[in-house]
Each structure stands twice: as C-alpha cells, then as structure tokens.
Structure 1
C-alpha cells in the first residue's frame, strides 16, 4: 500500500501570491501543442500548414478548452448549484472543469479557426488530434498532485491512501488516466498520423482511443459525490464517453471508405 505524497498544490510562492501546479499543467499542455504542432509541420512537408498557423490554433484552442471546460462542468455536473449561484461560474480558481465540455469547446473553436484560415474543419481536427494527449496527461498529473479525483477502494499492491480524503486504500486513477489518456494515446496517434491517412481517420482514432480509455478507467474512479452512479451502473464520465466511441467507430469506417474526401 502506498501513501499519497500530499504535495503542496502551490508550486511557487511569490509573497501573497502563488502559482499552482494545476495552472502549470495547463501551461505544459498549451506549450506542448505549440511545439509538437510546429514539429509536425517541419517533419511533414505535404501538410498545407504554416508554423504561424499553430500560433493562431493555440489561441482558439485555449479559449475552447477554458470556456468549454468550465461551461461543461456547470451543465453536465452541477447545473442546479450554478443556477442558484450564477456568479460562481466565473470563479475558475475554485476548480471545476470538464474534459467533455472542453472537447466540445475545442470543436467549436476549430470551426472558427477553419473559417479564418480557409481550411477544412476535419483537416484541422486531424492535425490537432495528435497534439492533445500530452496536455490531457499533464492535466491528470495536476489532479494527482492536488490529491483530487481519486479512485475507488482497492486491495491492489499499488493502491494508495489519500490522507486528505480518508484512510482507505484506493486506485490512483489519476495515474491510470495519465498513462492511458496521455502517454499511450499520444504514442498511438503520433505514430498513426505520421503517414497519410484518409480525411477524418486520425480524429476518429482520437475519439475511439480517449473514449475507450476514459470509459475503462471510470470503473476504478470514485464517482462524484453529488452525482454517484447513474443509470445502468455507469458514471457521468462513462455516459459522456460512450458517444465518443460510437461516433469514432462510425467516423473511422466512413473515413476508410473515403466518404469525407481526401486530406
């Protein structure tokens, strides 16, 4: 049995102010997208992208992540609370972000980016998909450092006690997600996208990969106390991930048949 290290959530103290680890994880995610995007352009001359496009892409993507992530949490997880406390929607420093909301936010932001640059939306999404998992993994590491989103009770040798929660040994589900949604998904998508693929195939693989990994890890993750387990014994995270997998499979089949055209 392991003990959570109880790391100070503030990475750097500057007088009365502090820079939080979670904020640094967001910064790592945004910077990784910028660097990996430019690296991909340099290594793939056939791509009709300029390095300056990635700078604009980051701006639109960051807006989508932050606005979509917050609104997604409000709508999917605690709508009644925020309906009674609408001003607290703006209190981002109190926490409360949803991946699925951020995902929808990015989809919307990429529509505006595609229109601005004259690119096809699916072409943009195929370019973005391999750049995202490192940021997802960084976010899960931020959850682990904060000792939040812990797992369900477990008797596995690597089960971990989170002293700020209770004395029960639990799955370190944040680390499972860091490994699967971050490292494994990045490796699969980066390698797959190195060769020319049918339009929409890389985006479809992202949907299948993330949705499947998140669905599986949710079996080890403690459901949100204010929601619990929902219909069919599934958590909110599973209900939101299942459509991603189904749409991803459909998209992958269509892409292989070149129904979306060519990149």
Structure 2
C-alpha cells in the first residue's frame, strides 16, 4: 500500500500518522459537539480526553509490540516511533482508553456511566478513521483470498482481504448508531451507560467476525487471542441484551403467534 504519504527527503510524512491525527481532531470535534448537550465543563472533559488518549495509545502500542516482539525486540525507539514502525493493537487501545478515562473521572467525581454515553460515538469515529489509516498504510493486512474484492500487497503472496476497510465502514456505522442512542438515553428510553454496553458488544462482534480474515494473527491452538476475548465479551453482551429487552422480545413473539393463529 502506501506507508509513506509524502517523502521530502529530509522529512517523511507517514500515512498512518496522518490518519491518527485526523482521528484525533475529528474525534475531539465530535466530543465537543456531544458535550455541548450537557452541563459538563469543557476544560475538564478535554483534560480527561487527552489523559485517556495517552493511556489508549500507550496500552495499544505496548500490546502490539508484545504480540510482534520478534520485530521490535527491546528497542525503545521502535516502540516510540509509531510513524516509522507502524502498528497499533486496537483492543489494547480501547482497553487503555476506557480504563484511563475511568481513573480520570473517578478523581473528578464525575459519573463514568453518564459521561461515557457522550464519548462513545466519537470513539467509534476515531476507530473508523484509524482503521482506514491502517488499510491505506498497509499496517494491517488481510488473509489470502480469491474473493473479487481483494488487493495485492508488495512482498506478500496472493490477493488479500480488505479487512481494515471493512472494519472501518462498520465502525462508522457504529458511530452513527450510538449518536442516535444519545437522544434515546436523554429521553430515558434507554438507561445511562447503554452506549458503553453496546460499544463492548458491537466492538466484540466486529473483532469476532473479521479476525479470521486477518493475516499475522497471534494464535493459540489455531484460535487467536483477540477471537477468544471478543467471543467471551460478545456472548456476555448478547445475554445482557436478551435480558434487558426480554419484555419486548416476549411481546414480539406473542404477536407473531397471534398473527399465525389468525
């Protein structure tokens, strides 16, 4: 693909770095837009955002290096220079971001569940742009395929799935859905923290579906670590949603049986 977007000789501008910057700025803009609906102080929210972003980048990068230790070794510069040595573990980034965000809000005595509903759409948006950067830079490569929607990568055999592009599109959709959920939460049609539960379920679903068509996976007995984690979270989230919407599900089933009897 295009790991280096522009090369001025003395200065290289890397594709993944550009998309990470775009993800940051568009994510911040969306946070600002959503927070404007609340009474939260903007300076506190953005302080927490920067703190959480640092945590996400650190944990995401650390997990990526751990899973690709043979390529990085103990070279600290390779760990820091994400432009020159691209790669980010998105599950690690998500865990780091949410944990550091929780720690910050705990110190400020702000309700995490109430606040997190407003940042989940922005987080989905940032993930979508980041995945788009991974696709164009070639940082994440799909497995070999004969499917007509495929792409050949330099120094790799065969055509490859457009896995990162698929994930990006689905994350854009997730951003739109959770943005709409904000207004249902404000009307108390959904409970506080619903966006977080939906995010964990949706993110796990995306990982579980697309992980098998990724190349260079870290596997244990032919199953990747990501697939195991996402599978457990997906099952847990699905059980929760069945319980949460149990009355609605029962009513729908009853209405179907009534129509058949009629």
TM-score bin (small chain): 0.7 to 0.9
User: What secondary structure is seen at the aligned counterpart in 1 of 2:5?
Assistant: strand
Partner residue of 1:153 out of 125, 144, 154:
144
Higher helix share: 2
- Within a 5 Å distance, the mapping from 1:46-195 to structure 2 comes to 47-75=38-66, 77-78=67-68, 85=74, 87=76, 88-92=78-82, 93-166=84-157, 168-180=158-170, 182-195=171-184
* Aligned residues between the structures: 240
In structure 1, C-alpha distance between the alignment counterparts of 2:138 and 2:81, rounded to whole Å:
20
User: What secondary structure is seen at the aligned counterpart in 2 of 1:160?
Assistant: strand
In structure 2, C-alpha distance between the alignment counterparts of 1:255 and 1:16, rounded to whole Å:
57
How has the CA–CA distance of structure 1 residues 91 and 38 changed in structure 2, closer, same or farther, with 3 Å as cutoff?
Answer: closer
**Gap runs ≥5 in structure 1:** 1-5, 258-263
How has the CA–CA distance of structure 1 residues 253 and 117 changed in structure 2, closer, same or farther, with 3 Å as cutoff?
Answer: farther
Stretches (4+) displaced over 6 A: 253-257
1:261 paired residue number:
none
2:214 paired residue number:
221
Contact residue 7 and residue 13 of structure 2 kept, 8 A? yes
How has the CA–CA distance of structure 1 residues 13 and 169 changed in structure 2, closer, same or farther, with 3 Å as cutoff?
Answer: closer
Q: CA deviation at 1:89?
A: 4.0
* Larger displacement relative to structure 2 (205-214 or 248-257): 248-257
**Gap runs ≥5 in structure 2:** 247-262
- State the Cα RMSD in Å: 2.6
TM-score using structure 1 length: 0.79
In structure 2, C-alpha distance between the alignment counterparts of 1:187 and 1:54, rounded to whole Å:
21
Q: CA deviation at 1:175?
A: 1.0
Partner residue of 1:208 out of 201, 213, 220:
201
In structure 1, C-alpha distance between the alignment counterparts of 2:126 and 2:135, rounded to whole Å:
14
Instruction: Specify the structure having the higher radius of gyration (Cα).
Output: 2
Partner residue of 1:20 out of 2, 10, 14:
14
Contact residue 16 and residue 86 of structure 2 kept, 8 A? no
TM-score using structure 2 length: 0.80
* Larger displacement relative to structure 2 (86-95 or 117-126): 86-95
How has the CA–CA distance of structure 1 residues 213 and 67 changed in structure 2, closer, same or farther, with 3 Å as cutoff?
Answer: same
How has the CA–CA distance of structure 1 residues 80 and 19 changed in structure 2, closer, same or farther, with 3 Å as cutoff?
Answer: closer
In structure 2, C-alpha distance between the alignment counterparts of 1:255 and 1:63, rounded to whole Å:
34
Confirm or deny that 1:237 pairs with 2:226.
Answer: yes
User: What secondary structure is seen at the aligned counterpart in 2 of 1:11?
Assistant: strand
